[in-house]
Structure 1
Amino acid sequence: MTAGYDVAVVGAGIVGLAHALAARRRGKSVIVLERDAQPLGASIRNFGFVTVTGQQAGACWHHARRARDIWAEVAEAAGIEVLQRGLVVAARRPEAEAVVDAFLATDMGAECRRLTRAEALEMNPALTPSGVTAALFSPHELRVESRTALPALIAWLRDGLGVDFRFSCAVNRVAAPQVETTLEVIHAETVIVCPGDDGTTLFAGRIAAREVSRCKLHMLRLRPGASLPLTTPVMSDLGLARYHGYADLPEAAALKARLDREQPAQRANGVHLICVQSADGSLVVGDSHHYGDEVTPFQPAHVDRLILDEFDAVLACPDYRIEERWLGTYAVSPQGWTFTDAPDDATRIVMVTAGCGASTAFSIGEQTLAELYGTKAA
């Protein structure tokens, strides 16, 4: 059997879904092909934290701004609850405060502001007084629950916008206008391959030319022993030395040097703190970063402890238990944080090769469709 569409999207992670949305908004008929029974990759393993502030200056930051606006539209339309808004980055060292001040002086610091310790504690009482000397506040972020947001987004695209989906449907070969799958042959005017961190199934040679490998990260869900209202997501000094929007500033060099001396294990394991809160009061906390072509299934306890040490230093939550542990994974490349490749005029490969897929995908999808079909939407 052969089915015909304007656009076939391979992959039902957030990058694939973003392209499906952008295509439907142009009036295109769309099918999404996903090899698993449901999305199981980076898109549901992450924080659900749509981050603008701290993204790399330039295209990444601009994509994040636009994607955040689309997330707000989609969340309302799809019935996805926005659980938190904004961001507090708690500075614990003078060197971290200097990075905050330098960031606020950039164009990316617009609408953000510096908080005193008292202001930070008033805004977010979950912070511990010893874990903050000053803070950066950003109003730009929003946070959803990835595990439920992705299924809700799929349901809305299917039932509300008419996108067709085939799950448990592996794609064996793309030769536009034909897409050969394990279920059927799809005919599509345009094929957009969004493989997540899979660099071996489709177009392996083209992906290998981008030096794509993988990053593995540790995630935890904590249950506070008592109510702990976390009014915004929280980050800390380690994030100021890692997120490119801060870490690429000249002022970050002194902070990195001090962290290398004082927290060498965290730095060696790529640990920084992100803490967000779910509707049931639990906290999603992470993460670490380990790189290589192979992502092992093992989660060493000492790395979790490094993450929790930073959590304990910044947040006043002395009595908690660990409810869940899991591994995240995403694609990385030394050649840049994203790429779009064109094997032919009708085919695109789109990968986000950094940990910002959820924060940028909706805007990347718009860009891809504009390049394929023109800048004016239908």
Structure 2
Amino acid sequence: MAHYDLAVVGAGIVGLAHALAAARRGKRVVVVDRDAQANGASVRNFGFVTVTGQEAGDCWEKARRAREVWAEVAAAAQIPVLLNGLVLTARLEESEAVIDAFLKTPMGEKCRKIGYEEALSFVPALRREAVRAALYSPHEVRVESRTAIPLVSRYLAERYGVEFRWQTSVTAVQPPRIETSNGPIEAETAVICPGDDFSGLFPERIATYRATRCKLQMLRIRPGAPVSFKTAVQSDLGLGRYLGYSMLPEAVALKARLDVEMKAERENGIHLIVTQSADGSFVVGDSHHYAATPDPFASEAVDKLILDEFDAVLDLPGRTISERWVGTYAAAANWRFTDKPADAIRIAIVTAGCGASTAFAIGEETIADLYGDAA
């Protein structure tokens, strides 16, 4: 039986982040996943590594560090970075006030307010009426989730010798013995990264955090004619939802106006994110609905609300929808938690939609806690 220093349960971005942090310390790591490849939130999102707009404090700080690690990993693993930066458009007076307030905070470092002409140089399809002002951030990067996550796995295997056990369910974790559907594994420590599966390992521990699940609807849109964006795009609704903006005192008036004028969008947790893929298509979303077990069905009415906001901000005649899908992720009052069932075991769950943006920093933190601060 092979022996490992660390067993990671779950091969999504949070699990891979822990594997990387341990492997960089010279630890022998095995990653175990019940599917044949990563198939959850990590491959169903925008691939948008977001710093600007994350909640002030721990989340924003973790996103800043994770962005640095993403740059290192993308270069080493030959993961194409498709976009750099963000343009967030504001068509409302109250939205511009939130941008002004945000730029006065430490989180606004290297960000700036720009006008329509400069915004158009980043995003050539912007509608004039959608841009009273815009926030430009240089911090974000965008990768293609569907290919980036497998490339991270391959990089871990080839560069650090991390082993992967696919199509293998873990039934019990009691280091140094890990019981799986394909026989036991010996590992001195274990980190469990179950995503939004709360009923598998240590359900009684996870239950104390009162987590639920968030369902989101997303689409892939193809433009009628070729167009090239330099940055990702967001809009006023993002200022009312992303906590780095929406918790500012100046956001109170904006949220009140959005609650009246965009009532349906707010009730369905919609805010616009648009990221472009290498083939010229756009990943567009999203909505947010919460339930212990969300239904698997995509609502045409919700898709229409997303598309209406897309069309209000971007002028792309002849656009068509080529894909629709539903994703889920864990959600709770706090944006993440790391639980300690035993000295040699940790459970790490991101309970917000920012796993791709923060996981690498969380992995470093957890591994430092398990093995000591010295790398």
TM-score normalised by L of structure 1: 0.98
Task: Please report how far the alpha carbon of residue 119 of structure 1 lies from its aligned counterpart in structure 2 after TM superposition.
Answer: 1.9
What SS class does the counterpart of residue 2 from structure 2 fall into? strand
2-structure distance, mates of 1:130, 1:164:
52
Task: Please report how far the alpha carbon of residue 227 of structure 1 lies from its aligned counterpart in structure 2 after TM superposition.
Answer: 1.0
Conserved 8 A contact 1:90-1:132: yes
**Count of aligned pairs between the two proteins:** 375
What SS class does the counterpart of residue 192 from structure 1 fall into? strand
Task: Please report how far the alpha carbon of residue 118 of structure 1 lies from its aligned counterpart in structure 2 after TM superposition.
Answer: 2.2
TM-superposition CA deviations, 1:305-324 (whole Å, max 9, x none) = 00000000001112111000
1:363 maps to 361
1-structure distance, mates of 2:105, 2:50:
17
2-structure distance, mates of 1:176, 1:241:
45
TM-superposition CA deviations, 1:270-294 (whole Å, max 9, x none) = 0000000000000000000000100
Task: Please report how far the alpha carbon of residue 184 of structure 1 lies from its aligned counterpart in structure 2 after TM superposition.
Answer: 1.4
2:85 maps to 86
Conserved 8 A contact 2:52-2:139: yes
1-structure distance, mates of 2:50, 2:346:
26
1:206 maps to 205
What SS class does the counterpart of residue 244 from structure 2 fall into? helix
TM-score normalised by L of structure 2: 0.99
1-structure distance, mates of 2:2, 2:329:
31
Conserved 8 A contact 1:11-1:32: yes
2-structure distance, mates of 1:99, 1:125:
24
What SS class does the counterpart of residue 56 from structure 1 fall into? coil
Q: How do 1:20-59 residues align onto structure 2 when only pairs under 5 Å count?
A: 20-59=19-58
1:305 maps to 304
Task: Please report how far the alpha carbon of residue 123 of structure 1 lies from its aligned counterpart in structure 2 after TM superposition.
Answer: 2.9
1:281 maps to 280
Conserved 8 A contact 1:3-1:185: no
* Gapped regions of structure 2 (runs ≥ 5): none
1:145 maps to 144
TM-superposition CA deviations, 1:125-182 (whole Å, max 9, x none) = 1211111110000000000000000111111111121000000000011112211000
Task: Please report how far the alpha carbon of residue 251 of structure 1 lies from its aligned counterpart in structure 2 after TM superposition.
Answer: 0.5
What SS class does the counterpart of residue 358 from structure 2 fall into? helix
2-structure distance, mates of 1:295, 1:202:
21
Task: Please report how far the alpha carbon of residue 124 of structure 1 lies from its aligned counterpart in structure 2 after TM superposition.
Answer: 1.9
* Gapped regions of structure 1 (runs ≥ 5): none
Conserved 8 A contact 1:276-1:283: yes
Residue type of the partner of 1:91? A
C-alpha RMSD of matched pairs (Å):
0.7
Residue type of the partner of 2:256? A
Residue type of the partner of 1:269? N
Q: How do 1:327-346 residues align onto structure 2 when only pairs under 5 Å count?
A: 327-334=326-333, 336-346=334-344
What SS class does the counterpart of residue 241 from structure 1 fall into? helix
Q: How do 1:192-203 residues align onto structure 2 when only pairs under 5 Å count?
A: 192-203=191-202
Conserved 8 A contact 2:122-2:229: no
Residue type of the partner of 1:351? I
1:160 maps to 159
Residue type of the partner of 2:27? K
Matched, 1:249 2:253: no
2-structure distance, mates of 1:54, 1:126:
23
1:291 maps to 290
2-structure distance, mates of 1:229, 1:258:
33
Matched, 1:191 2:190: yes
1-structure distance, mates of 2:34, 2:347:
17
Percent identity reads: 62
1:101 maps to 100
TM-superposition CA deviations, 1:54-80 (whole Å, max 9, x none) = 000001000000000000000000010
1:73 maps to 72
1:113 maps to 112
